[in-house]
């Protein structure tokens, strides 16, 4: 009798293993997979470089989605704040006014913390506004999208800096950087509206869109003004 | 021996198989539900709980009988319960005032909102900061000095001036009316005062853009226009509520109002006096090589 039972169990296991039926999740298989040390869902054992690379890859994929804004779900569902933090730190570093010139002259640029405040508090205010208007999107989802959509403006900032380094100041240079930062602004607004546009009731869409517009416009102004000398 | 074992196998497998099938159905139904929950609020806002809340908040604001807890979204949502059309209509009416129309009675009274004041103030802060910088830049290029620096901290000073005027002043005024009037009911609520003050500033947004044009008489003409339009809206709304005896208070309000308009002009868009610019031109003309040199090295 005991041998029969053993046989039966041995017969059940292979069918669980091969077939598409995933009842194996619930019973002894879970324990067995831990015993086997399968690293599939266990992030404790993996080297730290793998962890960082996986997160960076996720951030990179979201950057790609911002630059080609077509598919919404990746940014909306798997939100994170790493990308916004990277972008915000980068922009704050680039935009901050230099305090220690040779003649101890303070050029009027914002300080590092002020750029940080503008980006994070600005994104928070825009999000609070859309929540108060009755939009249904979670707070951090919206902050994540607003932060990721800074990418076009960061690219515009890099482009403007390169132009300033390469050419001497002139009216032509001014208009070129004006065009670059304005296209960055339009791009950022378009991308964020694509992601956030559906979250508002019908009669209030423009009320929620306007603050987003203003948010990116102010940052685009910072980008432009820091490159005009 | 073979045959019973087979039957035994079937006996053991079939309940197990069934339970697994059930389990699989169950587990498959969970992701479907969660995906529906995750998608629905994004795609059709009508079905969402907050969408259902809207008529409720409308009822509450019209009755103003059932106060909600201060620490909830719903409490603040009732101040933002406006549609695009209403906001556009209110802004339009504050920019283009009609004759003999009490702005408060006509547009605000049934439902004061805070969306307009908040975003008009923020817009005004940045439009003044940006166009103040552009005006500064134009002055710098007009004197052929390309050594221009933008001044970010205009934002801070513009923000503090505008917050003081549009947010602190109405609250102070309301408190003054409440404790000085000795009436059971204050004729205007704090919310209505905030709303009127916020919307009355909207005329300054286009004007602050136009202030960039560096013509002195035009700039002062714009100051006068802005002060007149926004003052007209303020006074026609507030004066009936203050009663007869309050001429000193009206004078104080008018003075503060004119001070704000002139302060914008003086502080952010000031064109240097005409007798300064010839000096600069003279020095440039006297020693062109030196000044050019310093400009380039800077």
Element (H or E) spanning A90, and its range?
Answer: helix A82-95
Cα→Cα distances B264→A108, B156, B208, Å: 19, 13, 9
Please tell me which of the candidates B8, B24, B126 has its beta carbon nearest to residue A21: B24
Residue B120 burial by CB count (10 A; 0-12/13-18/19+): exposed, middle or buried?
Answer: buried
Convert the pLDDT of each residue in B146-171 to its tens digit.
566 777 888 888 999 999 999 999 99
Would you call B83 and A207 a contact, using CB atoms and an 8 Å cutoff? yes
Please check whether residue B95 is in contact with residue B210, taking contact to mean a CB–CB distance below 8 angstroms: no
Using CA atoms, how far apart are residues A168 and A174, in angstroms rounded to an integer?
10
pLDDT of residue B133: 87
pLDDT of residue B271: 61
Could you list the pLDDT tens digit for every one of the 229 residues in chain A? 444 444 444 455 555 555 555 554 444 444 444 445 444 556 777 888 988 898 899 899 889 888 888 767 777 778 888 899 999 999 999 888 765 554 445 566 788 888 899 999 999 999 999 888 888 888 898 999 999 999 999 999 999 999 988 887 778 888 899 999 999 999 999 999 888 877 888 888 889 999 999 999 999 999 988 887 6
pLDDT of residue A109: 75
Per-residue exposure over B40-61, b if at least 16 CB sit within 10 Å of its own CB, e if not: ebbeebeebebbebbeebeebb
Using CA atoms, how far apart are residues B240 and B279, in angstroms rounded to an integer?
53
Would you call B149 and A229 a contact, using CB atoms and an 8 Å cutoff? yes
pLDDT of residue A134: 84
Determine what percent of chain A falls in helix, strand and coil, rounding each to the nearest 5.
Answer: 75, 0, 25
Would you call A21 and B20 a contact, using CB atoms and an 8 Å cutoff? yes
Phi, psi torsion values for B52, nearest 5 degrees: -70, -20
Interface pTM, i.e. ipTM = 0.75
Mutate to test the interface with B, among A71, A79, A142, A207 (most CBs of B within 10 A): A207
- Residues of A numbered 32-61 whose beta carbons fall under 8 angstroms of chain B's beta carbons: which are they? none
What six digits make up the tokens of B224?
């006068």
pLDDT at B21 over 90: no
Query: Which of chain A's residues have a Cβ under 8 Å away from the Cβ of B79?
Result: 132
The angle subtended at Cα B42 by Cα B36 and Cα B48, nearest 5°, is 80
Would you call A129 and B80 a contact, using CB atoms and an 8 Å cutoff? yes
Confidence of residue B206 (pLDDT cuts 50, 70, 90): very high
* Nearest alpha-carbon partner for A227 in A148, A162, A182: A162
How many A-B residue pairs are in contact by the CB < 8 A criterion? 127
What one-character DSSP code corresponds to residue B66?
S
Residues whose CB falls within 8 Å of the CB of residue B94, separated by 6 or more in sequence, listed in order:
B103, B199, B200, B202, B203, B229, B230, B233
The angle subtended at Cα A124 by Cα A118 and Cα A130, nearest 5°, is 130
Is A198 part of the contact surface with chain B (CB cutoff 8 Å)?
Answer: yes
Would you call B84 and A132 a contact, using CB atoms and an 8 Å cutoff? no
Would you call A108 and B9 a contact, using CB atoms and an 8 Å cutoff? no
């Amino acid at each position: 009798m005991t041998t029969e039972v053993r046989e039966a169990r041995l017969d059940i296991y292979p069918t669980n293993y091969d077939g598409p039926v995933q009842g194996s999740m619930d019973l002894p298989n879970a324990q067995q997979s831990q015993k086997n040390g399968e690293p599939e869902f266990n992030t404790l054992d993996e080297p730290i470089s793998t962890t960082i690379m996986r997160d960076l890859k996720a951030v990179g994929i979201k950057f790609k989605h911002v630059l080609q804004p077509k598919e919404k779900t990746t940014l909306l569902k798997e939100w994170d704040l790493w990308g916004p933090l990277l972008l915000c730190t980068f922009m704050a570093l680039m935009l901050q006014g230099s305090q220690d010139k040779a003649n101890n002259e303070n050029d009027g640029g914002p300080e590092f913390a002020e750029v940080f405040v503008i980006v994070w508090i600005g994104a928070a205010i825009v999000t609070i506004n859309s929540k108060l208007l009755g939009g249904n999107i979670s707070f951090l989802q919206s902050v994540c999208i607003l932060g990721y959509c800074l990418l076009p403006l960061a690219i515009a900032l890099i482009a403007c800096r390169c132009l300033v380094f390469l050419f001497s100041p002139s009216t032509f240079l001014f208009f070129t950087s004006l065009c670059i930062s304005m296209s960055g602004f339009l791009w950022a607004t378009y991308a964020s509206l694509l992601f956030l546009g559906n979250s508002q009731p019908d009669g209030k869409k423009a009320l929620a869109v306007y603050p987003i517009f203003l948010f990116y416009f102010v940052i685009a102004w910072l980008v432009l003004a820091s490159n005009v000398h | 021996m073979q045959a019973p074992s087979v039957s035994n196998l079937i006996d053991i497998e079939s309940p197990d198989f069934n339970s697994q099938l059930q389990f699989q159905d169950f587990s498959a139904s969970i992701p479907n539900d969660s995906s529906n929950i995750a998608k629905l609020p994004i795609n059709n806002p009508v079905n969402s709980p907050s969408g259902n809340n809207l008529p409720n908040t409308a009822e509450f604001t019209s009755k103003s009988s059932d106060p909600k807890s201060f620490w909830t979204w719903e409490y603040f949502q009732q101040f933002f319960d406006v549609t695009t059309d209403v906001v556009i209509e209110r802004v339009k009416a504050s920019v283009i005032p009609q004759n003999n129309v009490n702005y408060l009675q006509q547009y605000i009274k049934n439902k004061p909102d805070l969306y307009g004041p908040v975003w008009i103030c923020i817009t005004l802060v940045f439009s003044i900061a940006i166009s103040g910088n552009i005006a500064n830049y134009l002055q710098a290029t007009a004197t052929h000095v390309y050594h221009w620096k933008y001044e970010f901290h205009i934002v801070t000073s513009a923000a503090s001036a505008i917050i003081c005027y549009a947010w602190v002043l109405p609250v102070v005024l309301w408190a003054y009316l409440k404790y000085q009037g000795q009436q059971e009911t204050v004729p205007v609520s704090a919310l209505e005062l905030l709303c009127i003050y916020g919307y009355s500033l909207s005329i300054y947004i286009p004007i602050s853009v136009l202030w960039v044009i560096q013509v002195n008489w035009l700039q002062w003409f714009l100051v006068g226009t802005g002060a007149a339009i926004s003052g007209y809206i303020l006074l026609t709304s507030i004066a009936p509520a203050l009663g007869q005896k309050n001429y000193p208070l009206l004078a104080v309000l008018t003075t503060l109002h004119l001070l704000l308009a002139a302060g914008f002009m003086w502080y952010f868009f000031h064109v240097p006096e005409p007798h300064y610019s010839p000096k600069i031109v003279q020095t440039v003309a006297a020693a062109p090589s030196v000044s050019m040199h310093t400009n380039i090295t800077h």
